[in-house]
Every structure is written in structure tokens, then in C-alpha cells.
Amino acid sequence: MSLSLPSFDESPGWGIQPETEDDVVTAAIKKEKVIQEIAAQQEDLRALLARVKTVQLDVDKLASGNETLQMYIDNLTLQMAKRR
């Protein structure tokens, strides 16, 4: 009595079932949804980055204005100190 064993190419390994056409279609649909979600999140990140850049420019302008005001205040303080 001789037992014939399937070769490695023929047997599904360790309980893995061969994919059916439905499994392939389902997997493709899931992958497409994930790709769409990633693309949407990338677009959201681009929008956030643009907003961050805009806010950074505003902060830089305000910081520059604050420096100018501080110099003005310092000059007035010196002038007031000289008058006394």
C-alpha cells in the first residue's frame, strides 16, 4: 500500500484555502477603498500644510511688527530717561 503525497506546488499550505474569484474581487474592492482613503487623507494633509504655511507667514509678519514696536518703545523710553 503506497500513499501519494501532493507536491508543494499542488497543496495549499497550512490550512490556507486557495482564493476563489469572489475572494479576488472582494480583495480588489477593499484595496481600492484603502487607496481612495489614502488619497483623501493625502489631500487633507496638503490642505493642512498649506494652512500651516499661511499661518506661519502671518506669525512672521506679526513677529516683525512686534520687533518694530519694541524698538519704538525702547527709543521712547531712552528719550524720556534723557529728559529727566
Per-residue pLDDT of the chain (84 residues; tens, 9 = 90+): 556 555 555 555 666 666 677 888 999 999 999 999 999 999 999 999 999 999 999 999 999 999 999 999 999 999 999 887
What does the block give as the cell for 5? 503525497
Residue 56: inside a domain: yes
Res 14: pLDDT: 66
d(CA 8, CA 30): 29
Give SS3 for 19: coil
Per the structure, the count of domains in the chain is: 1
Residue 1: inside a domain: no
Segments forming the whole domain that contains residue 30: 21-83
**pTM for this predicted structure:** 0.56
**Could you tell me if 65 and 72 are in contact, meaning their C-beta atoms sit under 8 angstroms apart?**
no
Going by the DSSP 8-state scheme, the letter that residue 24 receives in this structure is H
Res 29: pLDDT: 95
Res 80: pLDDT: 93
Residue 52: inside a domain: yes
